Structure 1
Amino acid sequence: MFVDLQAAETSGLRAAMVDRLTSAGVLTDPRLREALLRVHREVLLPHAYVRVSGPGADPIDWRLLDGSHPDDRQEWLDLIHTDESILLQRDGEPLDALARGPVTGGHMTSMSTYTPATVDALQVLGLAPGQRYLELGPGPGVSLALAATMTGPGLATGVERDEHMAAFAQRSLERLGVGATVIEGDALAGHHARAPYDRIHSGIGVPYVPPAWVEQLACGGRMLTTLTTRTPSWPGQLLVTRAGGGRLEAVLQGRPRGYRPMLGYQWLNALDHRARIKADPGTARPARLAPPADDAYGFWIAAAYLAPGLVRDFQAETMTIVAPKDDSWAVAGPGDGTVRVRGPRDVWAELEEVHTRWVEAGRPETYRVDLSDSTGIQSVTSGRGPKELSWSLPPLATVPLQMP
């Protein structure tokens, strides 16, 4: 078992982190609380990139904190015990000889998950001793280590596509002595050798549920993943349960955050349009729809599918929705009953139409997903009859395998 030479210091930071999560009402599971207190995050996150450049900079300037360096140690320790996502890898780089200090350019290819999201996911899964656990895309292994601590040695497996990250995570987990294993491979294929699993958690967003994941879910099991769309603005969380008789039940709901999409799946973004929108927000017209609340997740997840190709600029002063591929946008308000629209696509009219349909369907917050269709179609519905909202998930056929 790993012994920290400065155990009192790190133990206090973990306790403060746990108390903060508990006070905020995020952490409620006593088993997970104990796991968070026991798992030494500094072993799993021995370094961290911090961004130096401001918004919109290209290339981006970073600084690498090395937890073993005395000049970095306090800043690094404070950072890895916050609720922030910890940036660990640029452009798929090897992780065994990183140099501390400033670096420029590149894109982050691996990071730890925002801590409240990890806590929420593991609590939804309801982990207990003796359960077989599969983590898809574990990255540095934070949630995998917590799961292994809760389920017991030899029961937790991760599948990681990046060879450097897989080796890095395995070494860290061995130092912790939690009995978890990381396999290098395609996360979309799961890991048949140790199936079936009582709990499956995906740390990557997928547009469609891979059949292998469903096949490897044990009777009585639960699976949790982010359903990603082309927009990062309105993610959905899918919880799949398999009843004792083998029947599947899958429930989708909108969430404020989700996991990043799988390799090869490109998000839309509004950044390239920001300056143009500021210079010319568009022509004002009366709006039937006031800007929907940010937490109207049932509406926004429906809009992600029924008005596809839209992305929100959350940095804008008023609600701004962009259709990048159509060079169109809508800027709401501010507060005068109008919306400004520009481009060939009337973005706000589409949102008004989706909102009308959502209201007529009963303002659903959750949606049923049918994963049992023999043709492979995965359909999403809420309500019944002529007012039903429905759509189909896009297939995985055009997305490459997850091996590097």
Structure 2
Amino acid sequence: MTSEPDIGEAAADLRRRLAHRLEKDGRLRSPKWRAAVAAVPRHLFIPRFYRESDAPGVTTWEPVTPETVGQEEWLRLVYGDETWMTQFDGRDIDWADPKPISNAAPTSSSTSPGLVVRMLEDLDVREDMHVLEIGTGTGYSTALLCHRLGNEAVTSIETDENVARRAREALTMSGFTPRLLVGDGRAGHLDGAPYDRLIATCGFRNIPPAWLEQVVPGGIILTTLRGWMRSLGLVKLIVTEDGANGWFSEDDPSFMIARQQEAPESLGMVPGPDDGTKREALYGPDVLTSTGAAFMAQLAVPDARFFTLPVDGGPVSTFVLDSVTDSFAVLAATASGWQVRQGGPRRLWEAVESAVATWEEYGSPNTAAFGLSVTRSEQVVWLGNPNGPRWPLPS
């Protein structure tokens, strides 16, 4: 077994290599963030984790520890530019006897260092600034912020008490002592306000009003917006006296949605085979998963989810269900294309078709062509400029 001093030396060398690689790739752009990556011991924040197995069949994650893969391989994986899972279904893992995990939803992770530092660079911090982080997770990104700005400048909120406890232990072991809180990140932390910057490492359906109140005018909010079908993307907002405005990036980080905004367990009422009205569909269900088009579908039907299911033992159909309005759309293949059957207060597929058609009319741009305007009364995603096509975010 490698000794602790040898682990430290090997980890320090791997950190330097990681920093060099991220700098070469253009993700690390400033010497001070490079120094943070080279200094913060990621292996203390993810001493054990799960990686996705490449075995065929149902998605399965396998445990990675120094004991299961060997110390050298474990360290190599820790300092790779990868996201590693650390919790599933909100339950702690029995690391005394870790087993492969299937049919489970990841609920906490250590985000890839490349994405972490890309977001931290975009935060555009200076030494005299105070930062509020939403989603402490393992504490790795918190440690990078502390190295860059100092412990007293960083406040971090985690919703899961056990995840927060492990992050606190790792931060203390690494020599960092930020203000750590357990709670609902949507509320921010008024006692520590005002903040110059706010960064969220989980996805939100909209911008919480408390963030606007606690970040100074001219300050930056950097967060991922996402819906119940998919991530919308990373958005950088400049706070104003009465709201915030900004643009999406062309990256598409798919952070886990904040637990307080997870979709209801019930998908809604599954329609019967004769429910609704039928017509030829202009687009098939592939627009729900295709890059670009799926972004538009999420904007168009923010309260919907979809799944596939055989109907009456026949071909597979795609069901789009809105549990808020009890609306539905069912897509089935025909000899010439696709047929849609719709019912309920909202014509879901017409909303999707309209949004996708608008996107195509504007040249099928990537997410960097979209912006977000936030006021106290509404939050609207727009294409091209604030007077262009608009889609409201769910309240």
- Shorter-chain TM-score: which interval? 0.7 to 0.9
**Mapping of 1:1-400 within 5 angstroms?**
5-52=6-53, 54=55, 56-57=57-58, 61-67=60-66, 69=67, 72-94=70-92, 98-105=95-102, 106-232=104-230, 234-242=231-239, 246=241, 248-253=243-248, 255-266=251-262, 297=292, 300-306=294-300, 309=304, 322-325=318-321, 326=328, 328-329=330-331, 340=338, 353-358=354-359, 360=361, 365-373=368-376, 376-382=377-383, 388-395=388-395
Provide the C-alpha distance between the structure 2 equivalents of 1:359 and 1:70, rounded to a whole number of angstroms.
Answer: 49
The Cα shift of 1:341 comes to: 5.4
Q: Contact (CA 8 Å) 1:125, 1:222: kept in 2 or not?
A: yes
Q: Contact (CA 8 Å) 2:369, 2:384: kept in 1 or not?
A: no
Question: SS in structure 2 opposite 1:84?
Answer: coil
CA deviation vs aligned residue, 1:203-244 (integer Å, no higher than 9, x gap): 111111111111110233111111111212x5222212135x
TM-score (ref. length: structure 1): 0.74
Provide the C-alpha distance between the structure 2 equivalents of 1:266 and 1:152, rounded to a whole number of angstroms.
Answer: 33
Q: 1:267 to 1:180 in 2, by over 3 A?
A: same
Q: 1:196 to 1:264 in 2, by over 3 A?
A: closer
The Cα shift of 1:116 comes to: 2.3
Unaligned runs of 5+ in 1: 269-284, 314-319, 332-337, 396-404
CA deviation vs aligned residue, 1:107-128 (integer Å, no higher than 9, x gap): 4321111332212211111123
Greater CA drift, 72-81 or 46-55: 46-55
2:195 maps to a residue whose letter is: Y
Aligned residues: 359
Q: Contact (CA 8 Å) 2:301, 2:351: kept in 1 or not?
A: yes
1:304 maps to a residue whose letter is: Q
CA deviation vs aligned residue, 1:172-212 (integer Å, no higher than 9, x gap): 10111133232111111111121111111111111111111
1:372 maps to a residue whose letter is: T
The Cα shift of 1:33 comes to: 1.3
Q: 1:144 to 1:262 in 2, by over 3 A?
A: same
Find the counterpart in structure 2 of residue 282 from structure 1.
none
The Cα shift of 1:160 comes to: 0.6
CA deviation vs aligned residue, 1:149-179 (integer Å, no higher than 9, x gap): 1112221111011110111101110111133
Provide the C-alpha distance between the structure 2 equivalents of 1:300 and 1:252, rounded to a whole number of angstroms.
Answer: 18
Q: Contact (CA 8 Å) 2:342, 2:349: kept in 1 or not?
A: no
Unaligned runs of 5+ in 2: 265-279, 309-315, 322-327
Question: SS in structure 1 opposite 2:252?
Answer: coil
Q: Contact (CA 8 Å) 1:341, 1:347: kept in 2 or not?
A: no
Question: SS in structure 1 opposite 2:259?
Answer: coil
* Identity between Structure 1 and Structure 2 (%): 25
Q: 1:160 to 1:72 in 2, by over 3 A?
A: same
Q: Contact (CA 8 Å) 2:204, 2:258: kept in 1 or not?
A: yes
Q: Contact (CA 8 Å) 1:134, 1:157: kept in 2 or not?
A: yes
Greater CA drift, 253-262 or 201-210: 253-262
Provide the C-alpha distance between the structure 1 equivalents of 2:283 and 2:151, rounded to a whole number of angstroms.
Answer: 57
Q: 1:322 to 1:38 in 2, by over 3 A?
A: farther
The Cα shift of 1:361 comes to: 5.7
Provide the C-alpha distance between the structure 1 equivalents of 2:382 and 2:317, rounded to a whole number of angstroms.
Answer: 25
Q: Contact (CA 8 Å) 2:127, 2:149: kept in 1 or not?
A: yes
Provide the C-alpha distance between the structure 1 equivalents of 2:354 and 2:218, rounded to a whole number of angstroms.
Answer: 39
CA deviation vs aligned residue, 1:260-287 (integer Å, no higher than 9, x gap): 111154469xxxxxxxxxxxxxxxx997
1:37 maps to a residue whose letter is: A
Provide the C-alpha distance between the structure 2 equivalents of 1:93 and 1:75, rounded to a whole number of angstroms.
Answer: 26
CA RMSD of aligned residues (A): 3.9
Find the counterpart in structure 2 of residue 276 from structure 1.
none
Question: SS in structure 2 opposite 1:154?
Answer: helix
Question: SS in structure 1 opposite 2:378?
Answer: coil
Q: Contact (CA 8 Å) 1:235, 1:256: kept in 2 or not?
A: yes
Question: SS in structure 2 opposite 1:171?
Answer: helix
Provide the C-alpha distance between the structure 1 equivalents of 2:23 and 2:298, rounded to a whole number of angstroms.
Answer: 32
Greater CA drift, 376-385 or 250-259: 376-385
